[in-house]
Amino acid sequence: MTFTVGDVIAERTIHLTRESLVRYAGASGDFNPIHYRDDIAESVGLPGVLAHGMLTMGLASSVVLAALDTDAKITEYGVRFTRPIVVDPQSGADVSVLAKVGAVDDTSARIDLTVKHADTTVLVKAQLRVAL
């Protein structure tokens, strides 16, 4: 794959449901009740049940991985969490991911991710590096 600064390499919207959160909790072992019980989430001042941060981070990187060649190697990945994703019990939540080439040097390409829920950016400085 050839990387050119400014090129969009992937874009996708992922729909999360409460079932998604339960499945992720089982896979990750993160059974914090703020991820599946409204009463607990609200009791600690949250607006509702939240998607796991690592689930959000994993979904964002999976969009890039699906677009890369199968032998591609990600050498770095980092994000900052800015806003939680509240997952409504009936309508769920849509998370949009846009992956764009931010920089290219002799050894790697930096992919910049824009990750949003309800027109609100939920991850900033979301970047990964792909070895060339």
> Taking the model in full, what pTM does it have?
0.94
97 pLDDT band (50/70/90 cuts)? Answer: very high
- Give the number of other Cβ atoms within 10 Å of residue 91's Cβ: 9
Query: Are 98 and 40 a contacting pair, CB within 8 Å?
Result: no
96: Cα separation from own chain's centroid? 8
Contacts of 78 (CB under 8 A, 6+ apart): 125, 126, 127, 128
Which pLDDT belongs to residue 52?
98
Q: What is the average pLDDT across 82-91?
A: 97
Contacts of 132 (CB under 8 A, 6+ apart): 3, 104, 106, 107, 108, 109
| CA neighbor of 116 nearest in space, from 7, 47, 14 | 14
All structural domains of the chain, each given as residue ranges with its CATH number in brackets, are: 8-131 (3.10.129.10)
Model confidence over 31-79: pLDDT tens digits? 999 999 999 999 999 999 999 999 999 999 999 999 999 999 999 999 9
Model confidence over 13-31: pLDDT tens digits? 999 999 999 999 999 999 9
Which pLDDT belongs to residue 44?
98
